Amino acid sequence: MSKLKGKAAIVSGSGRGIGRSIALKLASEGARVVVNDLDAAPAEQTVAEINKAGGRAVACVGSVTADGFAERFVKTAIDSFGGLDIIINNAGYTWDNVVQKMTDEQWNAIIDVHLSAPFKILRAAAEFIRAASKKEAEAGQEVFRKVVNISSIAGLGGNAGQANYSAAKAGIIGLTLALAKEWGRYKVNVNCIAFGMIKTRLTEASAGGDASIDIEGRKIKVGVNPELLKMMERSIPLGRCGTPDEAAGSVYLLCTPESNYISGQTLVCGGGIMI
């Protein structure tokens, strides 16, 4: 059974990694998906994969931190699919340093992508959600919408070398709590997933320490020292890192009708790791 049939979803950062898996999972359950990525190629590839499988998807390419992006993202869903039912704030990356060496640019970039961008996307969706909820209530309909914000165990317990990321991921939990209270009257379930170690291009083993990605002209180092990664995996009760598909499954849980009475919660998807 397609539990999300007829629903319209937007998933930021869904051309690659966890976001891609989220988009594919939601689409496999019947949702129509707006796929976003910084770069057109991965976004279009995910869209093509969904459409080839019999789903419906369109791309909205661009940086979630760009002026006007939030409004364009929301409008793409409404124009393409006639509405908006599911918002997944997933886009992000890390740019680490110890606090005495962290620049204003590093701090601001990570706060912008992990906290300010989700806020702007939710703000852009607010008027549609308010109007749609009022119309549905007048018609005697009970329609639940879903927001899933992506946090991290760093937002719950902090992480050395990640003052910016930890602060942003703690902030998104606070934003989730506030919106759960504001939007409950509109029948919007606002929840958060705090990921532990999930294997993506950002967390793959990197012996040389020279692996990097390009984020809007910035060369950002990625990867984890293999020995450190093994040590981290030993601390996980299930004994390994999670996969993007497993991460997507936790997000999907909070998008289903079974979660209609769950709101303002942070679910840790971390293989049993305790904070």
From residue 211, how far is each of 103, 163, 217, 219 by CA, in Å? 21, 22, 15, 10
Residue with tokens 């910084």: 38
261 flagged as catalytic: no
φ, ψ at 58 (rounded to 5°): -135, 160
- First vs last C-alpha separation in the chain: 36
CA–CA gap between residue 169 and residue 158 (Å, rounded): 9
Question: Distance between CA 270 and CA 275 in Å, rounded?
Answer: 10
254/148 Cα distance (integer angstroms)? 7
Kindly tell me the number of DSSP H helices and DSSP E strands found in the chain. 9, 9
Give strand ranges (E) for the chain. Answer: 8-11, 32-35, 57-59, 86-89, 145-152, 188-195, 212-215, 218-221, 266-269
- What 3-state DSSP class applies to 270? coil
Which secondary structure element, helix H or strand E, spans residue 28, and what is its range?
A: helix 17-28
- For 68, 147, 189, 259, the CA distances from 253, given in Å and listed in that order, are 30, 12, 12, 7
DSSP state of 264: S
Is residue 2 within 8 A of residue 29, CB to CB? The reply is yes
Q: Give the active site residue among 165, 186, 252, 261.
A: 165
Active site residues: 165
